[in-house]
Amino acid sequence: MRAVLIDAPGVLRTAEIPDPEPGPGQVLVRVHACGVCRTDLHLLDGEVGIPRPPVVPGHQIVGTVLAAGPAAGDHDAPPPGARVGIPWLGWTCGSCRFCREGRENLCDRARFTGRDIDGGFAELAVADARFCFPLPEGYSDLQVAPLLCAGLIGHRALRMTGDAVRLGLYGFGAAAHVIAQVAAFEGRRVFAFSRPGDEAAQELARRLGAEWAGGSDRPAPEELDAAIIFAPAGELVPLALRAVGRGGVVVCAGIHMSDIPGFPYADLWGERTIRSVANLTRADAREFLALAPRVPVRTETHPYPLAEAGRALDDLRAGRFTGAAVLLP
Ligand SMILES: [Zn+2]
Ligand SMILES: [Zn+2]
């Protein structure tokens, strides 16, 4: 099969590699679409380590099941022909304290699609059947792909803001463009902060329900109850913290961020909270994939052929598109 691999930091190549074979409890999937996430860029840039390179990145996989490996345990694999989504969380141990507490996103031995397990920048992929999800009907493969990380982890971040009404979204990329719609659906007031001068992102934010959109160099037009930072820019943390009122929370939703500059304790005082959100649980996936069609979430997607994965990642880095890039093998 044709696949895109990361060999080492900065080294991306397209190659013919042997077709993967499903092991016990796994399914073999023909990939129809795979969303491009900022985490893929962090993996390529070496900001998030790859334990055993080379690896095929891509963790927003939409495909159809071709075959199942040998049965394992008591779970049923989705049947051949079933359309499934495969997210970042690819395997958990089920026995560590986090798994036992329903926090498998923090599993001691978790394995992640497109980092520890070959992902979806390829024609075929194998995945543990327990971590494959049926996808809502009414979405094309292209449209549904960004829901699998931008949507799932974005929604986990949104839940961490509790019942905040005035919500700031810092970094208006793939995740924010999904979550703004969910937040508006839930009756929240959305304030979108894009890269300064990114009129296209601000225009998209307003179209998707934000009541205010502007550059992240501008102060919030009023006090916020919570903020989610999707951009990998640590300097946004003190800015967002100053924008939220007493008791407010700043949620950092990315896997990597540049260092956070110092700030006066007074900005944290008043029971303000800074927290991160890591990965997702299978419960998050089931919950969000049921919610998305009710909103209904609409994604703005930019398709690229598999061979142009490098260009998709460059365009993401440079902010050349709004919404989400999706590879079509
Ligand atoms: Zn992701
Ligand atoms: Zn575990």
Per-residue pLDDT tens digits for 285-318: 999 999 999 999 999 999 999 999 999 999 999 9
DSSP state of 1: -
Backbone angles phi, psi at 73, to 5 degrees: 65, -150
What mean pLDDT do residues 116-145 have? 98
Which residue intervals of 160-235 are DSSP H helices? 174-185, 199-207
Name the pLDDT band for 224 (thresholds 50, 70, 90). Answer: very high
* pTM, 2 dp: 0.97
Return the DSSP state at 130.
G
- pLDDT category at 15 given cuts 50, 70, 90 is very high
Architecture of 152-276 per CATH?
3-Layer(aba) Sandwich (3.40)
Q: Please give the pLDDT value at position 125.
A: 98
Nearest in space to 230 (alpha carbons), one of 171, 281, 189: 171
Looking at the CA of 324, name the nearest ligand: 1
pLDDT of 88 strictly over 80: yes
Q: Mean pLDDT over residues 235-251, rounded?
A: 98
Task: Please provide the average confidence, as pLDDT, over all residues in the chain.
Answer: 97
pLDDT at 73 over 80: no
**Centroid of ligand 1 to alpha carbon of 150 (angstroms):** 6
Q: What is the pLDDT of residue 53?
A: 98
Distance from the alpha carbon of residue 231 to the mean position of ligand 1, in angstroms:
13
Identify the architecture of domain 2-148+299-328 in CATH: Alpha-Beta Complex (3.90)
| Ligand that lies nearest to the alpha carbon of residue 42, given by its number in the listed order | 1
- Bridge partners, residue 11, by sequence: 8
Q: Which residues of 63-99 are buried (b: 16+ CB within 10 A; e: fewer)?
A: bbbeebbeeeeeeebbeeeebbbbbbbbbbeeebebb
Q: Is 74 a residue whose pLDDT tops 80?
A: no
Average pLDDT over residues 50-69: 97
**221 CA to middle of ligand 1, Å?**
30
From ligand 2's centre to the CA of 96, what distance in Å?
4
Query: DSSP class of residue 210?
Result: -
In the reported structure, the alpha carbon of residue 279 is separated from the centroid of ligand 2 by a whole-number distance in angstroms of 13
Average pLDDT (153-178) is 98
Q: Token pair for residue 71?
A: 């049965």
| 19, 44, 82, 249 from 71: Cα distances, Å | 20, 34, 17, 45
Whole-number Å distance, alpha carbon 79 to ligand 2 midpoint, is 27
* pLDDT over 90 (residue 95): yes
Percent of the chain with pLDDT over 90: 98
For residue 75, is pLDDT > 80?
no
Domain-by-domain residue ranges, the chain? 2-148+299-328, 152-276
Å from CA of 21 to ligand 1 middle? 24
Position 79 scores a pLDDT of 94
Ligand nearest to the CA of 147: 1
Encoded tokens for 329: 């093998």
- Residue 76 is predicted with a pLDDT of 78
Contact 233, 257 (CB under 8 A): yes
How many Å lie between the centroid of ligand 1 and the Cα of residue 38?
6
Model pLDDT for residues 263-273, shown as the tens digit of each residue: 999 999 999 99
Distance 283 CA to ligand 2 centre (A): 15
Q: How far is the CA of 45 from the centre of ligand 2 (A)?
A: 28
Using CA atoms, how far apart are residues 310 and 220, in angstroms rounded to an integer? 35
Any idea which ligand is nearest the CA of 89?
1
What separation in Å is there between the alpha carbon of 175 and the centre of ligand 2?
A: 26
